[in-house]
């Protein structure tokens, strides 16, 4: 039995202000799609940049990793929970094409490259509301349960 989108979201080991997942729209053994709307009062907009805030690339990468690797990893393992999760980014390479401004909704689409020995590697794209590509790359992470 596949976990529901809510069950996957409930298992995420993040909370505000460092949770960058609002919804999941599709999930399968091969990939996942989800969204996040960057709130206008996010902590990182103050000072990045003066009078014209944009979302830092590291935050866009984190959003891509949370949806595209962690949520998909939770789905694939079915056994990770926020109480017993060991999750670590192991590699990322992201190319950026345009800015994301406060209030903007983004969609993350992730396609699994491989999942073996608890390492998940994905090709991940982040798109704006028009479907334009904001950034894309390859992100890998390790997912496993803490030993008792």
Catalytic sites, residue numbers:
48
CB 118 within 8 A of CB 140: no
DSSP labels, 38-81: --TT-GGGTTSSTTS----HHHHHHHHHIIIIIIHHHHHHS---
Burial profile 83-121: b = 16 or more Cβ within 10 angstroms, e = fewer: eebebeeeebebeeeeebeeebebbbbbebeebeeebbb
């Amino acid at each position: 039995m596949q976990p529901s989108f809510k069950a996957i979201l409930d298992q995420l080991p993040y909370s505000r202000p460092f949770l960058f997942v609002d919804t999941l729209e599709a999930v399968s053994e091969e990939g996942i799609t989800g969204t996040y709307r960057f709130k206008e009062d996010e902590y990182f907009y103050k000072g990045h940049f003066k009078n014209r805030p944009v979302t830092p690339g590291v935050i866009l990468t984190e959003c891509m990793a949370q949806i595209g690797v962690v949520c998909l990893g939770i789905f694939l393992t079915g056994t990770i929970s926020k109480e017993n999760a060991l999750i670590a980014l192991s590699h990322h390479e992201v190319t950026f094409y345009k800015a994301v401004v406060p209030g903007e909704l983004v969609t993350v689409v992730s396609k699994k490259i491989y999942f073996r020995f608890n390492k998940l590697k994905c090709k991940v794209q982040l798109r704006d509301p028009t479907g334009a590509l904001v950034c894309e790359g390859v992100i890998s992470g390790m997912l496993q349960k803490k030993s008792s």
